[in-house]
């Protein structure tokens, strides 16, 4: 919540609002995050700074808000910007098409969502190793940057939307493994991936496993974000749903009130 310091150049202001917007996103404060990201984009237009990641994050916020056309538009803008900056390399399209598939199935267009996933996997296979792996962030250890996990998430969501939870399970597990290995950089993603796995297990009727994952997610959410954070409330709600499915109405009521 710290305000920007007076006298900052426009370029410094762009970086400030981007940084604060990302921090607010990690805290589940999506309205505040959107305000900051829009400010960063507006300032960037005046200074000639073009940052595709701002549009990509705004696309996620619009999808969460149910504004699907806007989410698609922001995603396409981000994809065009990043391709332009990299000489038009088509292998960059994979994660964006994966995201667009997530929006499309929310709009009820399962066939189109499936086609987007097929195209996304096709582009992902052509990514060169120098673009797929990163050394810089992980102290010299070669690790996948995770562009494939976005496509896996999209496929899992599409399968679950059709009731195919057992088929989606292995995809959810892969996404959790990737996000958990990156939890120091993006803790919110790791918590959400675990909650998605817990929900998947619950829908399969694997309630003991679902309860275990949900309890871990609650602990992680509280440890990172605190007792009164929105992500903690989400984790408590999903754990409550698992307890309800188990028939433990007292625990479900307690968690719901919490």
Report pLDDT digits (tens) over 156-181: 999 999 999 999 999 999 999 988 98
One-letter-per-residue 3-state SS of 120-169 = HHHHHCCCCHHHHEECHHHCCCCEECCHHHHHHHHHHHHHHHCCCHHHHH
pLDDT score for 139? 57
Q: Give the residue among 145, 162, 155, 166 at the shortest CA–CA distance from 121.
A: 155
Write out the two tokens for 43.
Answer: 């300032």
pLDDT score for 147? 63
DSSP letter at 4 equals P
pLDDT score for 26? 78
Q: Give the residue among 100, 94, 101, 51 at the shortest CA–CA distance from 75.
A: 100
Q: Write out residues in the chain with pLDDT < 70, as ranges.
A: 88, 130-147
| C-alpha–C-alpha distance, residues 198 and 219, integer Å | 14
pLDDT tens across 176-223, in order? 998 898 888 778 889 999 999 999 999 999 999 999 999 999 999 999
Write out the two tokens for 95.
Answer: 């994660």
| C-alpha–C-alpha distance, residues 252 and 175, integer Å | 27
pLDDT score for 86? 73
pLDDT score for 133? 65
To which residue do tokens 């297990």 refer? 201
Supply the pTM of this predicted model: 0.84
């Amino acid at each position: 919540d710290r305000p920007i310091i007076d006298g900052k150049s426009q370029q410094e202001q762009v970086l400030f609002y981007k940084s604060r917007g990302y921090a607010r996103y990690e805290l589940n404060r999506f309205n505040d995050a959107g305000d900051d990201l829009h400010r960063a984009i507006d300032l960037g237009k005046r200074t000639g700074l073009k940052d595709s990641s701002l549009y990509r994050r705004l696309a996620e916020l619009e999808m969460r808000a149910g504004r699907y056309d806007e989410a698609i538009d922001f995603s396409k803008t981000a994809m065009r910007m990043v391709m332009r900056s990299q000489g038009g390399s088509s292998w960059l399209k994979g994660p964006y098409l994966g995201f667009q598939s997530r929006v499309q199935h929310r709009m009820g267009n399962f066939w189109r969502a499936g086609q987007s996933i097929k195209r996304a996997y096709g582009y992902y296979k052509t990514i060169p190793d120098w673009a797929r792996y990163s050394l810089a962030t992980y102290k010299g250890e070669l690790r996948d940057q995770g562009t494939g996990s976005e496509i896996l998430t999209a496929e899992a969501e599409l399968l679950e939307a059709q009731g195919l939870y057992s088929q989606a399970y292995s995809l959810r597990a892969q996404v959790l493994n990737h996000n958990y290995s990156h939890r120091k950089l993006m803790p919110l993603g790791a918590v959400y991936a675990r909650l998605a796995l817990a929900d998947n297990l619950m829908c399969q009727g694997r309630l003991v496993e679902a309860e275990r994952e949900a309890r871990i997610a609650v602990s992680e959410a509280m440890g990172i974000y605190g007792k009164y954070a929105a992500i903690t409330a989400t984790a408590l709600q999903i754990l409550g749903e698992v307890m309800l499915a188990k028939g433990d109405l007292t625990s479900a009521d307690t968690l719901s009130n919490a």
